Structure 1
Amino acid sequence: MTNSVNRRVRSSQKRQRLTAAAARVLHERGVERTTLADIAREADVPVGNVYYYFKTKDELVQGALSEHSAHLDELTARLERLADPRDRLKALVGAWVEQRDIAARYGCPTGTLAVELDKRADGTLDAEAGAVIRRLLDWAEGQFRELGLSDPGGLSLTLVSGYQGMSLMANALRDPDIMTREGARLLRWLDSLQASDGNL
Structure 2
Amino acid sequence: MTDSVKPRATRANDKRRRLTAAAAQVLHEQGVERTTLADIARVADVPVGNVYYYFKTKDELVHAALSEHSAHLDQLTSRLDQLPDPRDRLKGLVEAWVGQREIAARYGCPTGTLAVEVDKRADGTLDAEAGAVIRRLLDWAGHQFRALGLPDPDDLAVTLVSGYQGMSLLANALRDPDVMTRQGARLTQWLDSLRTPGRTP
Q: TM-score, normalised by structure 2?
A: 0.95
- Distance in 2, Cα, partners of 1:91 & 1:11: 36
- Distance in 1, Cα, partners of 2:172 & 2:134: 19
- Distance in 2, Cα, partners of 1:182 & 1:19: 31
- Distance in 2, Cα, partners of 1:62 & 1:124: 10
Matched, 1:115 2:101: no
Q: What is the identity, as a one-letter code, of the residue corresponding to 1:18?
A: L
Map 1:46-57 → 2, pairs under 5 A: 46-57=47-58
Q: What is the identity, as a one-letter code, of the residue corresponding to 1:189?
A: W
User: Could you say which residue in structure 1 is the equivalent of 2:3?
Assistant: none
Map 1:23-172 → 2, pairs under 5 A: 23-172=24-173
**Long gaps (5+) in structure 2:** 1-5
SS in 1 for 2:7: helix
Q: What is the identity, as a one-letter code, of the residue corresponding to 1:142?
A: H
Could you give the per-residue CA deviations for residues 48-80 of structure 1, whole angstroms, max 9, x where no partner exists? 100000000000000000000000000000001
Q: How many residues align?
A: 194
- Distance in 2, Cα, partners of 1:139 & 1:78: 13
* Deviation of the 1:196 alpha carbon: 2.4
Q: CA RMSD in A?
A: 1.3
Could you give the per-residue CA deviations for residues 160-185 of structure 1, whole angstroms, max 9, x where no partner exists? 00000000000001000000000000
